[in-house]
């Protein structure tokens, strides 16, 4: 798919006017009940369409028996079904003309050959509709109060909106960054968990954030760069836009590389190759997880040193 189509689809995904929640639960304590609860809690102004044949309404919102019964084509569908059935909902959403689907279920390429087959089935079902995930926790658009996620971090009442965009290949890390940033008063703009990247990946969201007026710095939590050429092009686009990119890349050790493969099915690759790629495109590599907030927070101030004369004063 061409770049313009991808940017348009991501814009619709990040700022939807309507969201279908397929497999929504009336129990807000369950994972399948969280997306509706969080959309309401954090002030989503668009239409919410729960899909569940077993209940007539959820938290005062009319519930629909199936996707075909929806009153309009949703911009986004959040699919909360298991891996064995998610592709069926994806196919129905695509047939309606939905812009994108967010698939939370695990059990795909990260689990081996059988899971890889299920992921291929998911991609085929989507057709021209774009996919976020699978095995994702979703995304959070703090700029516009749009949480499309089941992350427990969204239990907090308020998050400061700011100018740091986050793209993470780990859903758990997305939640950790969201809560840690809020606790420190660091404002974020958009947070996206790409996870298995069956379709949309790191490069797609770096490209989007490079054009996003609300984002000044881009922070990445990376397990693997699946498409180096596209990553390079997106990082250079961000550089041309004057937006620093900070990356925390896991998998430096053999054990870390194995963990990355088991988590999202990524191949971690030789670490020195990543160092070379990051240097080539001007990406700043964070050495610790804490740096992934500290460095973007400093860069987001927009202050630039005019020289190299730096003094450090410490009390110990």
pLDDT band at 253, cuts 50/70/90?
low
Among residues 289, 281, 216, 280, which one has the least CA distance to residue 249? 289
Last residue of a domain, one of 95, 114, 132: 132
Whether residue 261 sits in one domain with residue 203: yes
In a domain, 282, yes or no: yes
Q: What is the mean pLDDT of residues 283-302?
A: 96
* Same domain as 292, residue 174: yes
Across the beta sheet with 161-168, the strand order is 146-149, 138-141, 188-193, 161-168, 217-222, 245-249, 284-285
Task: Tell me: do 232 and 192 sit in the same domain.
Answer: yes
> Does residue 50 surpass a pLDDT of 90?
yes
- Cα-atom radius of gyration of the chain, to the nearest Å? 19
Of 132, 150, 165, the domain-final residue: 132
The helix or strand, by DSSP H or E, that contains position 103, with its residue range, turns out to be: strand 100-103
Q: For residue 38, give every residue at least 6 positions away whose Cβ sits within 8 Å of its Cβ, in sequence order, or none.
A: 147, 149, 150, 154
**Domain of 124, in residue numbers:** 3-132
Residue 316 belongs to a domain: no
Do 49 and 122 lie in one domain? The reply is yes
Q: What is the CATH number of the domain that holds 60?
A: 3.40.50.720
Higher pLDDT residue, 108 or 255? 108
Contact 98, 133 (CB under 8 A): no
266 pLDDT above the threshold of 60: no
Q: What is the pLDDT of residues 115-148, one digit of tens each?
A: 999 999 999 999 999 999 999 999 999 999 999 9
Instruction: Match 């191949």 to its residue by tokens.
Output: 267
CATH number at residue 227: 3.40.50.261
Specify whether 89 is located in the same domain as 210. no
For the purposes of burial, counting CB atoms within 10 Å of the CB of 291, is it exposed (0-12), middle (13-18) or buried (19 or more)?
middle
Clarify whether residues 288 and 176 are in a common domain.
Answer: yes
**Boundary of a domain, candidates 73, 101, 132:** 132
pLDDT category at 14 given cuts 50, 70, 90 is very high
First vs last C-alpha separation in the chain: 56
In a domain, 308, yes or no: no
Query: 306 lies in a domain?
Result: no
What's the structural domain count of the chain? 2
Whether 101 and 164 map to the same domain: the answer is no
Q: What share of the chain is helix, strand, coil (3-state, %, to 5)?
A: 40, 20, 40
Q: pLDDT per residue over 71-98, tens digit each?
A: 999 999 999 999 999 999 999 999 999 9
Calculate the average pLDDT of the chain.
94
CA 51 from centre of chain: 23
Examine the domain organization and report whether 38 and 93 are in the same domain: yes
Indicate the DSSP class of residue 34: H
Same domain, 151 and 235: yes
Confidence band, pLDDT 50/70/90 cuts, at residue 283 = very high
Question: Is it the case that residue 263 has pLDDT exceeding 80?
Answer: no
Q: What percent of the chain has pLDDT over 70?
A: 94
Same domain, 180 and 295: yes
| Residues 52 and 105 occupy one common structural domain | yes
**How far out from the chain centre does Cα 259 lie?**
20
* Same domain as 22, residue 55: yes
pLDDT confidence bin for 255, thresholds 50/70/90: low
| Complete DSSP assignment for 159-208 | --EEEEEEEES-HHHHHHHHHHHHHHT--EEEEEE-TT-SSS-HHHHHHH
Angle at 15 between CA 125 and CA 201, to 5 degrees: 50
3: confidence class by pLDDT, cuts 50, 70, 90: confident
- Model pLDDT for residues 192-212, shown as the tens digit of each residue: 999 999 999 999 999 999 999
């Amino acid at each position: 798919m061409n770049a313009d189509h991808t940017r348009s689809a991501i814009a619709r995904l990040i700022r939807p006017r309507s969201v279908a929640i397929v497999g929504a639960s009336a129990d807000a304590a369950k994972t399948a009940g969280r997306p509706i609860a969080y959309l309401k809690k954090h002030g989503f102004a668009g239409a919410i369409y729960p899909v569940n044949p077993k209940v007539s309404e959820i938290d005062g919102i009319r519930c629909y028996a199936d996707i075909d019964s929806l009153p309009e084509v949703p911009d986004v569908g959040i699919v909360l079904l298991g891996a064995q059935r998610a592709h069926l909902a994806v196919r129905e959403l695509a047939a309606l003309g939905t812009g994108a689907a967010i698939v939370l279920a695990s059990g795909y390429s990260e689990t081996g050959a059988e899971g890889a087959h299920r992921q291929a089935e998911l991609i085929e079902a989507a057709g021209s509709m774009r996919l976020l995930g699978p095995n994702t926790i979703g995304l959070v658009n703090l700029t516009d109060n749009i949480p499309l996620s089941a992350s427990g971090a969204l239990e907090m009442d308020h998050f400061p909106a700011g100018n740091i965009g986050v793209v993470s290949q780990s859903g758990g890390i997305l939640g950790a960054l969201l809560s840690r940033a809020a606790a420190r008063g660091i404002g974020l703009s958009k947070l996206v968990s790409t996870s298995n990247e069956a379709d949309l990946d790191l490069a797609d969201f770096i490209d989007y954030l490079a054009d996003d007026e609300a984002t000044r710095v881009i922070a990445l939590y990376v397990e693997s760069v699946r498409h180096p050429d596209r990553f390079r092009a997106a990082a250079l686009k961000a550089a041309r836009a004057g937006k620093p990119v900070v990356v925390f890349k896991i998998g430096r050790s053999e054990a870390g590389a194995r963990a990355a493969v088991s988590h999202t099915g990524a191949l971690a690759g030789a670490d020195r190759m990543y160092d070379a790629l990051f240097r080539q495109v001007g990406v700043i590599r964070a050495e610790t997880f804490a740096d992934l907030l500290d460095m973007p927070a400093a860069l987001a101030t927009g202050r630039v040193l005019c020289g190299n004369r730096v003094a450090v004063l410490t009390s110990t």
